[in-house]
Copies of this chain bind each other. A is one copy, B any other.
């Protein structure tokens, strides 16, 4: 029986890098009896479909993602929030896994960076209860629960126990702002540290502002970093700046038995349509998808091939090369 992967290219370079990632999935499935076969179901989301249909995320796309084994998503333009936030909900994702690694061969401000952010994916300010209380004043209700914090912390412990964190650091760091958000981030902090303690996983903590100072000064201090939703958004994007930009960063929105995999980058309107976008982040997202489906070895093969090409293979313009998306993808497939 084949596994169903929903493929949502979205807008801009999503239409170029997602097909590249699908080619890589195909190559792996063709090459290995243990992987696949995959059935791809294409679905629409983003600015273009909004213009056509009036909906950035058609109900059909939401339902497909909700019922798939996994979804591969590219990027959406102006409608990004209208697409990605409901899609995370569709796959019941409680954690956004965001590895940020510098790769040999890629110019990075901090080549020693190797951090994995585990970002809470359902609440915080993203729970999004906003009100316009008067002509002058608006409010947003930020939500933190024990249950979501606990689920995240258990995932973090399993992640660490399974050796999925970077080698240079034991356990994990909780980043928060509990000195100001005492009740909400206090709850988050306490719950996460308690779970770690119960499970015997080493955990330390850092205020998110101090973390933002210290990460650029010495990224080697950190390995796995557990954060509330918005903190995870900002701090993982900061890490992207240290490893050479968003073009390399994959992410996994993990649910109990579903998942949505997406590059961290956007639609890059300045180069969209030219066939020169860097497919690395999308291909590494496909590697995370393979691992999520249980194909750990295949995921590792993709990652190794990507690393090999980044080290000395053809590369796209953002990495200082002149390869097209297709050339770089072919090189990765050739080294699988």
Residues of A at under 8 Å CB distance from B? 80-81, 85, 109-110, 125-126, 128, 130-132, 135-147, 177, 179-184, 186-187, 208-210, 212-217, 230, 233-235, 237-238, 240-242, 244-246
Q: Across the interface, which residues of B come within 8 angstroms of A216, CB to CB?
A: 109, 216, 238, 241-242
Cα distance, A257 to B303, chains bound together (Å): 59
Q: State whether B125 touches A183 (Cβ < 8 A).
A: no
Cα distance, A85 to B181, chains bound together (Å): 12
Q: State whether A130 touches B183 (Cβ < 8 A).
A: yes
Copies in the complex: 2
Cα distance, A209 to B266, chains bound together (Å): 12
Cα distance, A184 to B234, chains bound together (Å): 18
Q: State whether B230 touches A213 (Cβ < 8 A).
A: no
Q: Across the interface, which residues of B come within 8 angstroms of A180, CB to CB?
A: 81, 85, 125-126, 128, 230
A97 to chain B, nearest CB (A): 17
* Residue in contact with A138 in the complex, picked from B80, B138, B183, B245, CB distance below 8 Å: B183
Q: State whether A217 touches B241 (Cβ < 8 A).
A: yes
Q: State whether A212 touches B238 (Cβ < 8 A).
A: yes
Cα distance, A138 to B149, chains bound together (Å): 12
A284 to chain B, nearest CB (A): 17
